[in-house]
Structure 1
Amino acid sequence: MPWWLSVAVAVVGLLVFMPIAALVGIAAEGDAEIWPHLIRNVLPTSIVDTLALLAGIAVVAGSMGITSAWLVTAHRFPGRNILVWLLPLPLAVPTYITAYIYVELFDSAGLVQMALRDLMGWKSRSDYWFPEVRSLYGCVIVMSAVLYPYVYIAARAMFLTQSASMLEVARVLGASRLKLFRVIALPLARPALAVGLSLALLEALNDIGASEYLGVRTLTVSVYNTWLNRGSLAGAAQIACVMLALVVALILIERHGRKERRYATSAKRSRVVHPAPLFGRRAWLATVLCSIPVFLGFALPLVFLVREILRGSLVDQFDEEFLEHLLTTVGLSVAATLAVLAVATLLVSAARIAKSSLTKSTLFVAGLGYTVPGTVLALGLMTPLVKIDSLIGALWRSLTGERLGLLIMGTAGGIIVAYVLRFLSIATGSLSAGLDRVSPSLEDAARTLGASRKEMVWHIQIPLMRPALASAALLIFVDCIKELPATLLLRPLNTETLATQVYTYASRGRFEDGSLAALLIVLIGLIPVIQLVRSAEARPKAVETEPSSGS
């Protein structure tokens, strides 16, 4: 591998690892009295709430995702063909937007309780009981309604690839549909379920808007409050280190769930599962069970946002200021997406050309970015970015004699760096998977014909990675638009994105005024989700569903 490529790969690995190292350094340099205070007053409540929230989401989101995935894969019932497309759509709705909407609907001053009081003649909350949305279990329901598609997509992909022969043998031996699912289908899907569930939990751990608004004091909320509201950077860093330990624990649990569990079927003789028809009450029960997650996570938020926009004539908000916020959001997302794709292409191509320990280690470190919550990442970036700015300023002053302001920290550059580090693993994973499908013989032929490494990358690898580049670009772009914690903490003064605008309205108790910005976030997020569903549903059609005669 050329020396300049080795240097570039090493620099990328250093940049990815830099926030974590800085975070540990800030925590270690903090006042010795901070840690005992955190142990007594902050961490017990935060850890308990965080673990309870993650456990609740694991149960509720896991049940939603697994049940709906099995029903639409193994059975036919009214509305199934439409629900297959609708079930993944809550991925387009950020958790914080769903939380704001549920409070507007189901809080004591919300539309639902007001309608019930008018209908039943109740005077106050003491006259009746209603579930409290601003609570731990309310937060579990709200976040599960948005995050279950991570489990659904992973489970459905695995159910679709399971051989029908094993299930048919079990049916011949007298297994019921429930036992078939519990004893055969579910254990075979366990590796994929571990991945999907871990992604959902990592997203829950990254959230700050929903948990804060619903009154759940998670570790992420504690980091935010300790840093900004109490002015203790060291205390926030120490809480963030506890969060990192929890993230590592989640990763280890996910890998344990997949440990030594690999299942393969013959590509020539395997048949995919044929959906069995359901009749009567069972058919309609399946329809209801699959419709509930779609209603809670997508239909209800979408209808509410459209209603608020029409009722409040919020289309008039689309003025120069709103357009500026929209352009800022799109500009940051486009810049970060292009930067992520460039860095990921560099890493993946370098790993393909020279399978050295340096490239493998860098790819591994790059994969850690997505597991680090945005709040923790933003906190870890502060010190390194300030030092880089100081170094650039000193160099500029020595050359020109003039003082140079901040170039990265305190500008849009800091947000872009955070986006790149956080979403780099999405691109590297997608590009690696796309490049792995390219036969090595093609590259060997290019080398034989005298192609240089540069020519092989530009004329062979990059063209063959275009589908993977396109899908990764869509996912990264939408994730950047939805990202709230890192944007909230690193944005320059007087800079707003759609996500921070929605958060600002909600923090002032006027979320309905941010419905237009929220709806735009949702509509933009629908694009990659629909593309994801389209590609997933197209794969099974390429598989022969009946074996050849004489098999």
Structure 2
Amino acid sequence: MTRWLTSALLLLLTLFLTLPVLALVASWMRFDAAAQDVLLQMAQTVLPGYTATTIGLCVAVAVGVAVVGMATASAVTLFDFPGRRVVEWALLLPLAMPAYVVAYAYTDYLQFSGPLQTALRESFGLHGRVFPEVRSLGGAVWVFTFALYPYVYLLARTALSERAAQLMEAARLLGAPLSRRVREVALPLARPAVAAGVALALMETLADYGVVSYFGIQTFTAGIYKAWLSMDMPLAAAQLATLLLLLVALLMWLEHRAQRRLRFAVQRGGRAGGDEAQPVQLRGARVALAWAVCGLPVLAGFVLPVLFMLRPLLGGWDELPWAAFVGWAFNSVRLAGLSATLAVGLALVLAFAVRVWPDTFTRGVVQLTSLGYAVPGAVVVVGLLLPVGWLQQVAPHSGVGAWVTATALGIVWAYLVRFCAVALQSVQSGYARIPASLDDSARMLGTTGLALMLRVHWPLLRRSVAAAALLVFVDVMKELPATLVLRPFNSDTLAVVAYQLARDERLGEASLPALTLVLVGLLPVILLSRTLRSR
């Protein structure tokens, strides 16, 4: 009986967390002549542009993050130079910067009326635009590259640290010069890690709405919101969301394939070779080159955006809306705290079910519920609002729409769909460190079911649960697309207010909520850097 109830509960949780995807699939079952006309009209008008822009943006970002991530990972792993330990954790700092905050910062400082171009025109008597337009496809590529390269850096650094130093030492003993060792030994070794990191960065690029909307770039994500909110065409939004979901599914497949190849390479290579192999010691001009390779991404992805946002913040300190800021921060913390608590609770239930009943059914259900993190916020919004619209048509007086759009229910639901996987991954990593023999010993002493969780697992999972709650909390604080549509009335968050103020060209006022999000984002970066140092 207990097993049957557990299976039913897992199925309900799966339905709860996969509803957006199921709703999009169900929308194609309502495909009729009118829907076909909408799809044909999009194919003749906006769809080619959305496709070309999205693919062009993804290709350029993929090249950018691959080059920057691989170069920085190679510099700190294969070589030794003064300040390397500082650079190792400094390269993680752009993870604290939401991409849309980086976009606001560069626009404020580098646009035609910004302080830099104004000063250059006044100093040298120049006329017109000095630099290219920031709000362009090239500007978006720059922002995404230096905001997302840490995905490639982290995975490539891990892959290179496993075997690169030993194999490069063996190549050196065989007479290979340094350039050949890097080109023919280190780079092929990190290829699966780079592919996995690029796939993760592209998923974040496809999920973004703040940068592409602010820069006026017509990607699938911007098209989804335009079709739903501006044109009032839910079916067109659902079709665009389905295409975006297919692109994300392709990237997920590539990422999983690269991860499998990476694990295979590590298992085959092991840790043979001993610890006598050391990174190559750099001297002279090569030290300056290493600092340039590692310093430019930190400068472009974190230091300069922070400085650009601090300038208007400090200049208009007395005019900042502090009273309103307290309300925005309270809304953000309230929603983030509630979502983090619920996400951790669901993650504990799912991870405990896999621990106690590790059969094919349980593992499959948990894997389905963990796919939500790859679903873009725009797709989550459409997937949640579609069934609400259908229910409103069937039962106009049910009030379902008000519950989802006018209360915290809808937005917290969207957060759980997206970020429950983050909590689940952290909790499962904690479970992986608990020996199965402890469960067997507890059962022999008569401790089973919920008592097993509370008396045996929970004391050993506290750190993992705390890390999961922190990660979900920060992710919810920075989430923009779903919050922008589903937030309750008069419940603006820091992310929404920063976007709205920047859109209204009030970048000085937008700097306060934007920098607050950066400070919050530093917490998981500090946690990650400490974890890497301990390893």
TM range (shorter): over 0.9
CA distance in 2: counterparts of 1:273 and 1:239, whole angstroms: 52
- 1:164 aligned partner, one-letter code: A
CA distance in 1: counterparts of 2:418 and 2:501, whole angstroms: 26
Q: Could you say which residue in structure 1 is the equivalent of 2:26?
A: 25
What is the Cα deviation at residue 443 of structure 1?
0.9
Q: Could you say which residue in structure 2 is the equivalent of 1:427?
A: 423
What is the Cα deviation at residue 253 of structure 1?
2.0
Aligned residue among 109, 116, 123 for 1:112: 116
CA distance in 2: counterparts of 1:90 and 1:272, whole angstroms: 33
Q: Deviations over 1:242-286 (max 9, x none)?
A: 101111111122233345451234458642863322111111011
- 2:381 aligned partner, one-letter code: A
- 2:302 aligned partner, one-letter code: F
What is the Cα deviation at residue 405 of structure 1?
8.6
Q: Could you say which residue in structure 2 is the equivalent of 1:328?
A: 331
3-state SS, counterpart of residue 404 of structure 2: coil
TM-score, with normalisation over the residues of structure 2? 0.93
- 1:86 aligned partner, one-letter code: A
Which is further off, 264-273 or 350-359? 264-273
Q: Could you say which residue in structure 1 is the equivalent of 2:302?
A: 298
What is the Cα deviation at residue 104 of structure 1?
1.3
Indicate yes or no: 2:341 matched with 1:338: yes
Which is further off, 360-369 or 234-243? 360-369
- 2:299 aligned partner, one-letter code: F
CA distance in 2: counterparts of 1:74 and 1:190, whole angstroms: 15
Q: Could you say which residue in structure 1 is the equivalent of 2:53?
A: 49
Contact 2:78 2:164 in 1 (8 A): no
What is the Cα deviation at residue 388 of structure 1?
7.9
Indicate yes or no: 2:71 matched with 1:75: no
Q: 1:464 to 1:210 in 2, by over 3 A?
A: same
3-state SS, counterpart of residue 407 of structure 1: helix
Indicate yes or no: 2:225 matched with 1:229: no
CA RMSD of aligned residues (A): 2.3
Contact 2:78 2:280 in 1 (8 A): yes
Q: Could you say which residue in structure 2 is the equivalent of 1:102?
A: 106
Structure 2 unaligned regions, length at least 5: none
Contact 1:389 1:406 in 2 (8 A): no
Name whichever structure is richer in helix by fraction: 2
Q: Could you say which residue in structure 1 is the equivalent of 2:162?
A: 161
Aligned residue among 351, 354, 363 for 1:351: 354
Contact 1:163 1:270 in 2 (8 A): no
CA distance in 2: counterparts of 1:246 and 1:317, whole angstroms: 41
Q: 1:388 to 1:338 in 2, by over 3 A?
A: farther
- 1:367 aligned partner, one-letter code: S
Matches within 5 A, 1:442-481: 442-481=438-477
CA distance in 2: counterparts of 1:205 and 1:315, whole angstroms: 36
Matches within 5 A, 1:54-453: 54-125=58-129, 130-162=131-163, 164-261=165-262, 262=264, 263-264=266-267, 265-266=269-270, 270-271=274-275, 274-313=278-317, 316-319=320-323, 321-385=324-388, 406-453=402-449
CA distance in 1: counterparts of 2:252 and 2:318, whole angstroms: 43
Q: 1:134 to 1:446 in 2, by over 3 A?
A: same
3-state SS, counterpart of residue 406 of structure 1: helix
CA distance in 2: counterparts of 1:457 and 1:390, whole angstroms: 44
3-state SS, counterpart of residue 301 of structure 1: helix
- 2:519 aligned partner, one-letter code: L
Aligned residue among 517, 526, 529 for 2:525: 529
Q: 1:377 to 1:405 in 2, by over 3 A?
A: closer
- 1:115 aligned partner, one-letter code: A
Contact 2:66 2:152 in 1 (8 A): yes
What is the Cα deviation at residue 68 of structure 1?
0.8
CA distance in 2: counterparts of 1:89 and 1:385, whole angstroms: 40
TM-score, with normalisation over the residues of structure 1? 0.91
Which is further off, 141-150 or 430-439? 430-439
Which is further off, 354-363 or 373-382? 354-363
What is the Cα deviation at residue 491 of structure 1?
1.3
Q: 1:405 to 1:82 in 2, by over 3 A?
A: closer
Q: 1:526 to 1:389 in 2, by over 3 A?
A: farther
- 1:60 aligned partner, one-letter code: G
Q: Deviations over 1:147-181 (max 9, x none)?
A: 11111111112222226332211111122333222
Q: Deviations over 1:28-61 (max 9, x none)?
A: 5363210001111111111111111111111111
CA distance in 1: counterparts of 2:308 and 2:105, whole angstroms: 7
Structure 1 unaligned regions, length at least 5: 398-402, 540-551
Matches within 5 A, 1:502-541: 502-539=498-535
Aligned residues: 528
What is the Cα deviation at residue 393 of structure 1?
11
Residue identity over aligned pairs, in percent, reads 37
CA distance in 1: counterparts of 2:373 and 2:100, whole angstroms: 19
